[in-house]
Every structure is written in structure tokens, then in C-alpha cells.
Chains A and B, each alone.
Chain A
Amino acid sequence: MLQKIKKEAILMGNEAIALGIIENGCNMASSYPGTPASEILSSIAHYRDAYGLKMHVEWSVNEKAAFEVALANSYSGCRSAVSMKQVGLNVALDSLMSSAYTGVVGGFLLVSADDPGPHSSQTEQDSRFIAMLAKIPVLDPCSPREAHDFIATAYELSEKYEIPVLLRPTTRVCHARQNVASGKLLKNKRKAMFSKDPARWAATPKFRLTLHKDLNKKLSLIASEKKLQPFFYKSGTSNQNNCIIASGVAYSYVLDFLTEHHLLDKVALCKVPMPYPLPDSFLKSITTKFHKILVIEETYPVIELQIHDRRNVTGRLSGHVPNAGEITPDIIYPVVNKFLNIHGKPLKQAKAGGQRPSLCAGCPHRATYFSIKKALPKAIYAGDIGCYTLGINLGAVDTCLCMGASINQAAGFFHSFKSTGSEAKPIVASIGDSTFIHSGITALINAVYNGARFILVILDNSTTAMTGNQPTAATGVRADGTSSSGLQLDKLLEGCGVTYIKTIDSYDVQGITSTLKDADTYTRSQNGGIAVIISKHPCLIGSKHKKTITVTVGENCTGCRYCITNFECPALVHENKKVFINPVLCSGCGVCVHVCPVHAIKVQ
């Protein structure tokens, strides 16, 4: 269903960002999926086709690749957009730092979506600090609508100063929905043109110093850009003694609260559209204008830290606003009440434990983890980032650091135990296909090169499942649906120097269990090394899966709950001292048949 945006539509923040990118003549967009940024690129691909535009849109294999591909387009005078989640920007940081110095010709928009909470990330890091570290401007939208409207500003700024510009939405902007009015479609008429300039594009350290000085000049000019100055919400009065400074979605919460409680004439509300760079004049004078200042921002104290004299300033740094976690209305309102000396009713807290995230019924990863646990119960399980991190529920994930770390950490555990003469333990690293391609390949080369020994299980479900089933380099499909040659995993593994490579269907519990034991022997044998098992079965969400078998529980079920504890499939239900299978949830994978210790679960 290709749809153009007529005049106004309810858009997810990520769709609004995509629409802004489409409307502003961008001809190249790249990304690696990651919550909460994933829908930006897929929406760009959608609008590209709906509007009949010529654009290069790609899912890159990682954020560094995405960044550098798009950067070359901007070196060539054209407009680019690269999007990722905040921890993805860590992967592209090397490129970002250097590109701030070289600058760009065509507009370069970097979208890094932060995840305060965190809801779906390993850190709560604040990309605005990365903008400051790299010395590039950052825009902090407070709503999907503003994120959309900021895109035009970002491209203008990027081209005026020849600098990458960061747009920093948070989860509550990316995954909020709002009615958004479409803008004018500015069709790209530019031709790519690369003007050779070695002192800039291939700068050696000597020229880098010049570029750094140029960058500093750009920043001081950007700080005084009229359109992006901090401004006060017009309340009609000007005799306020106190001021709240806010940016991002926190501004929306504060405005909502002050409007609803008729407090806009009691306190000045200052909005910061561009938290970095801020003009010195503002940072110096704001504290002389007001008796007290409260700064509310997510997630780190970026604005607060820049204010010169912080004696009368409160915020995350001072501890008046909690210094970790998402800022929600429930957090903000008591803080604002206290700041304004208003006695509000204390809030009731009704939080209860209960539902936890879990692998889907029929998920091939569950079958693999069950086999790993069964074959090598005493192993160290080095895990990675993806749906399969939920293997933690089955006790088969002991570590989860960041993308690709499973393989390096498995190697690290091996060398740690070996070099200290400690009793060797089996080590099993598990990583998804998309994550392996993202940052597991160099790790594997390193492990082989340095003589580590462990079992690597590649959980190949032929998709990037956790973020919404984007294709990978191995699936043979691109972001726009066209086909590509497709990476051959086994050949890649051979090229890395792995000689033990076995591919088995994830549902084949007996096959995987016996192969794991064999692989364990191989890692210990005289001429052994790293054993790789590709556990392959398509993700049920992405594929056209049909239920072919029906599984039932026989009368001999003892109600011992072994299946629920060790297999934790959501379709297994314990009621009245027996286990039942929820027919709506059950996918018919049949794996639980191998789980029951008394063989009560059977295929009908």
C-alpha cells in the first residue's frame, strides 16, 4: 500500500523524520537497524517509491559503513541522511570525529536516536554529548512534528557551514505518533560532482590542524544562528523570577504541565532547540536574569554543564532531577512542583512485576539454546545483541556487552583460563546472523589468528528480527526489495580460517546436541581450533510459516513443569497441575516433544 502524505497524517516520529528527509531533496539514505531508529530507513524506502523519486536507499552492514557511504555522497555535493540508534553511533564514531574536520559539501544529516529508560538498549548514553565531543551542531526535537520540521533547518545549516548536523530524537519522539502536515517536495536536481581537494578530503596531520581551526570558527558562528537560539515561551508576562530550561520531549511534558495548571505566568519557560553549540552570551546571562533555574533534559546534563555559573542552577547534575532513567511526566511534575514551591499530591506507585520479554512460541533460537544447555551444561555462554539475548531466560546467555562482543569475549575467556592454567571449561559463543555480519567477522578473524578455541553458534534466522525483520547481506534482498548476490556464510567462515563448519536445522534438537558434543571434542583435540555451528531456521515472524503439526499433552503429564522451566515456551501453560498447549500461540514446531522428561508431549 504505497501512500503519499496528502496534507496531514498521523505519523510515527520515525516516519515524520523520513518524510522530512524525502521532502528536502536527499538522494542517499543509509542505516543499520536498531531500536528506536529502525523505521526511519524503511519509511524512506516507502516514500521514495510512493513519490516516484530516484534515491539510493540501503541497509548497510553496520553503522560505520552506513556513515561512510553517505558521507561520500555529501563530499560530492549531494544531500545525505544516515540514521542509527545511539549505541550504533559508537560504531560510527571514528568516521564522525574525522568528518567534523573534513566537513561536507552537500547537506549531511546524521540521525542518532537515544533511548532513555533504556527500553531496548545497553546504555542510556546521550548523543548530544557525542555531538559536543565531535564538535558538530545537534538539534533536539520535542515531538514528531518538530523532528519533521527540523530536517529542512538541518540541511540548510549543514550546507551553509559545510558541517555534518546531528538530529537527536529520543524513543518518545521516534515512537510517538502525531498528526503531521506535509511540507513542499523539493526534488533533487543536483548531479554528483567530486572536486579534488587533498588538503581537505585526504588531510594529513598538518592540514588537520587547519581544519580544526576552521571547525572552531564554524561552531562559534553556528552558536549565534538566529533561528536556533534558545527562546522563551510567550506567556504575556515578564516578571518571572524563576526559569525552567528544557529541551527534547521533556519540553513537551513541562509545557503540558504548566499549561494545565495555569503556571505559565509564574515561571519563564525556555526552550533549547539546539543544545550544542550554545552561544556564550546565553550561557553567561541566563543566570543573571533569574533567581533560580531548573534544567530538564534527557539523558545526561548537556545543557546544565554548559552554564557557566551553576550556583543557582538545579537539574540532573545537582541531583534535583534523577540522574538516570527516562524523564516522564511522573518524574517531572513533582520536581517542577518543588521548584515552584507548590504542594502537589504525592503520586501513587502501582508497579508490579510480572510479564517479561520472551522468545516467541516456535522461535528457532529457543530450540538452539535448549540444545546448548543440554549438551554443554557447564559451559560459559558468551552472548550477543538481538532477540537471542533472551536466551538468558533459558540460562544459556551469561554475557551481553555490545554488538559482536560474544566472539571476542569467548576468545578472551579462553586465553584467560589457559594463560592462568585454570581448569578449562567449554566456551560457547552465540550470535545472530545479522550481528555476525555487523561486527562478528573481524572478531572471528582475530580469534582464529590468535589461536583461541571455543564453539561459535551462529543463530541464522535469515533476518534482523528484533528490530522488525530487516533483510541482511546474507538474505539476498536489499532495503528497496531488489535482489543482491547474498553473502555465503560457509565460504566466509572458510576464508577466516575455520575448518570445522556444520550447518544444522535449529529444530533438530538431537542433531545439534550431538554436534555440540563433537565440536567440544574438536576444540580440545590436538589439531583442533574454533568450531562453528550454523543453526539455521527462518524467523517465524518474517517468513510465511504454516502450522503443519499439532502437539498435545498426554494423560501421563506429571505437572513437573520441567518444560516450562527449561524451555519456557509461551504456548506451554500450567493449569490444574497439568501442562496444556495454547493452540493459538503454538506454532507447531514440535521441539517440545524432545523436552518432556516423561515423553508426555506428543505429535498428534
Chain B
Amino acid sequence: MDKVTNILMAGVGGQGVILASEIVSEAMMQAGYDVKKSEVHGMAQRGGSVTTHVRFGKKVYSPLIKDGEVDILFSFELLETMRYLGTLSPDAIVLVNNQKILPPSVTLGKDEYPDTIPGLLSARYPRFELVDALGVAQQAGNAKAVNVAFVGVLSRFFDVAEDIWHKAIAAMLPPKLVDLNLKAFALGREQH
């Protein structure tokens, strides 16, 4: 596969977006790809919008994805999804975790949180999927494993062996959390 695959991961600080992107990068490297990834730290990490760009293929130069070339939008939060629609390629996969985190403009009463997002997305993107990753994580035993459960859902889109994913998860998490997260991953991978 010569073409580079571009995944844009989006969410809100604290949702585990960066860890999810580390697991995906590690898995893709173990699967033999050249991988590049970009993230932001510091001030940008304190509860604001968080994005990471993950790119893999035979050879990758740029660590950032250009607007219009995102193959998969992997979004941890409904409203965050809407911010990045302009970055998608025409036949992009839009994978969204069905969770709401209200931005300040909504909690301050200046805006309403739109309830029409899933409808808009499914009308516009044939490859849109809404997933209850939080529910999957709770089923696995801990709501905090929502990111790994969601990676499980994402893993279905790649021809990468399950044991490679397992190794990547084990490499990125403290030993005592590995079993829980493997369970969350497995449950996520079964979702349709």
C-alpha cells in the first residue's frame, strides 16, 4: 500500500485522545508501516479541544494532514466532530463516540448544544458510524477505558492482526491496567 492513510483524532482534554493515538501508531509500526504523528501539549492540553494527526504508509514525510485529505475522522465527542468536517476527504469514514462534553458557551447559556449532530452526519456521510464507546468501557469494567474501547472499534477498519493490537496496548499501558484495557478493546472490536 503506497498511499498514506490519514487519521484525524479529535476530542476534549482528558478523554485519552493522545494515548489512543499512541496505541494506533505503535500497532502500525509493528505492522511494518512508516508512521508519523502530531500532537499538542501544554496550555492546549488543559481542557480545550485536542487533536492528533496519525499518518502511516510506505513512506510518510509530513506529520500533519492537509485539509480535505482525512481518511478517517476518529472523534471522541459529538460536537468536536463538527469542527473538523472541512478536513475530510470525500469518502471519509466518520467514526464518532456518542458522548457530549458541553463547551463553556453552552454551560454559560450563550449557546445550545445541538441535538441534530448524528442526523446531520448520517445524511451527509455514507460511512458514518455512531458508537457508544463509553457504554462499552463501562461494560468492560471502567469508564476510563473509553479510549481503548474506541480504538477497538477503529481496529476493524485495518488489516492488522489482533495480537499486534494486543502488543501495542500492553506496550503503552501500565501493567496493572492491561487486562482491563484488553477487555475494553475486545468488546470495542466486536461492535457493529
The chain A residues found within 8 Å of chain B, CB to CB, are: 1, 8-10, 35-36, 38, 119-120, 143, 171-172, 175-179, 249, 252-253, 255-257, 259, 328-330, 333, 345, 347-360, 387, 389-390, 466-468, 561, 564-565, 568, 570, 572-575, 584-585
Specify which of A330, A345, A352 is in contact with B82 (CB 8 Å cutoff).
A352
B129: interface (CB < 8 Å): no
- Shortest Cβ distance from residue B161 to the other chain A in the assembled complex, whole angstroms: 18
Instruction: Sample 6 A-B pairs with CB under 8 A, ordered by A number.
Output: A143-B36, A348-B68, A351-B86, A356-B104, A358-B47, A468-B41
B67: interface (CB < 8 Å): yes
Which residue of chain A lies nearest to B3 when distances are taken between CB atoms in the complex? A260
B123: interface (CB < 8 Å): no
* Chain A CB within 10 Å, residue with most, of B13, B62, B103: B62
Specify which of B60, B86, B102, B175 is in contact with A348 (CB 8 Å cutoff).
B86
Question: When the two chains form their complex, are residues B43 and A347 in contact, meaning their CB atoms are under 8 A apart?
Answer: no
Q: Measured between alpha carbons, how far is A328 from B68 in the docked complex, in Å? A: 13
| List of A residues within 8 angstroms of B42 by Cβ | 35-36, 119-120, 466-467
- Shortest Cβ distance from residue B78 to the other chain A in the assembled complex, whole angstroms: 12
Specify which of A8, A175, A466 is in contact with B38 (CB 8 Å cutoff).
A175
B132: interface (CB < 8 Å): no
B12: interface (CB < 8 Å): yes
The 9 closest A-B pairs by CB, nearest first: A350-B86, A35-B42, A120-B42, A256-B62, A176-B63, A329-B66, A256-B61, A177-B37, A357-B46
Question: When the two chains form their complex, are residues B63 and A350 in contact, meaning their CB atoms are under 8 A apart?
Answer: no
Specify which of A35, A252, A355 is in contact with B41 (CB 8 Å cutoff).
A35
B87: interface (CB < 8 Å): yes
- Shortest Cβ distance from residue B160 to the other chain A in the assembled complex, whole angstroms: 15
Which residue of chain A lies nearest to B168 when distances are taken between CB atoms in the complex? A10
Q: Measured between alpha carbons, how far is A440 from B187 in the docked complex, in Å? A: 52
| List of A residues within 8 angstroms of B75 by Cβ | none
| List of A residues within 8 angstroms of B85 by Cβ | 350
The number of chain B residues touching the other chain, given as a range, is: 35 or more
B40: interface (CB < 8 Å): yes
Question: When the two chains form their complex, are residues B63 and A120 in contact, meaning their CB atoms are under 8 A apart?
Answer: no
Question: When the two chains form their complex, are residues B86 and A349 in contact, meaning their CB atoms are under 8 A apart?
Answer: yes
Specify which of A8, A176, A328, A358 is in contact with B46 (CB 8 Å cutoff).
A358
Specify which of A10, A35, A253, A355 is in contact with B29 (CB 8 Å cutoff).
A10
Specify which of A1, A561, A570 is in contact with B174 (CB 8 Å cutoff).
A1
Question: When the two chains form their complex, are residues A330 and B66 in contact, meaning their CB atoms are under 8 A apart?
Answer: yes
Question: When the two chains form their complex, are residues B36 and A35 in contact, meaning their CB atoms are under 8 A apart?
Answer: no
| List of B residues within 8 angstroms of A329 by Cβ | 62, 64-67
| List of B residues within 8 angstroms of A350 by Cβ | 83-87
Which residue of chain B lies nearest to A253 when distances are taken between CB atoms in the complex? B62
Question: When the two chains form their complex, are residues B48 and A565 in contact, meaning their CB atoms are under 8 A apart?
Answer: no
Which residue of chain B lies nearest to A142 when distances are taken between CB atoms in the complex? B61
| List of B residues within 8 angstroms of A249 by Cβ | 62-63
| List of B residues within 8 angstroms of A354 by Cβ | 49, 79, 83, 103, 105
Interface residues of B in 148-180 (CB under 8 A from A): 174-175
Interface residues of B in 20-75 (CB under 8 A from A): 22, 25-26, 29, 34-49, 60-68
* Chain B CB within 10 Å, residue with most, of A348, A390, A568, A585: A348
Which residue of chain B lies nearest to A393 when distances are taken between CB atoms in the complex? B104
- Shortest Cβ distance from residue B173 to the other chain A in the assembled complex, whole angstroms: 10
Give 17 new A-B contacts, CB below 8 A, not counting A119-B44, A348-B68, A467-B42.
A9-B29, A10-B22, A119-B41, A143-B61, A175-B39, A249-B63, A257-B62, A347-B68, A350-B84, A350-B86, A352-B83, A354-B49, A354-B105, A357-B13, A466-B42, A573-B107, A584-B143
Specify which of B49, B83, B104 is in contact with A568 (CB 8 Å cutoff).
B104
| List of A residues within 8 angstroms of B175 by Cβ | 1
- Shortest Cβ distance from residue A456 to the other chain B in the assembled complex, whole angstroms: 23
B1: interface (CB < 8 Å): no
| List of B residues within 8 angstroms of A359 by Cβ | 46-47
Specify which of A253, A352, A360 is in contact with B64 (CB 8 Å cutoff).
A253
| List of A residues within 8 angstroms of B35 by Cβ | 10, 177-179
| List of B residues within 8 angstroms of A358 by Cβ | 46-48, 104
B109: interface (CB < 8 Å): yes
Question: When the two chains form their complex, are residues A178 and B46 in contact, meaning their CB atoms are under 8 A apart?
Answer: no
Q: Measured between alpha carbons, how far is A359 from B37 in the docked complex, in Å? A: 27
Question: When the two chains form their complex, are residues A179 and B29 in contact, meaning their CB atoms are under 8 A apart?
Answer: yes
Which residue of chain A lies nearest to B104 when distances are taken between CB atoms in the complex? A356
- Shortest Cβ distance from residue A46 to the other chain B in the assembled complex, whole angstroms: 15
Q: Measured between alpha carbons, how far is A492 from B184 in the docked complex, in Å? A: 51
B108: interface (CB < 8 Å): yes
Question: When the two chains form their complex, are residues B109 and A255 in contact, meaning their CB atoms are under 8 A apart?
Answer: no
Which residue of chain B lies nearest to A561 when distances are taken between CB atoms in the complex? B109
Known: A119-B40, A348-B68. Contact between A355 and B12, CB under 8 A? yes
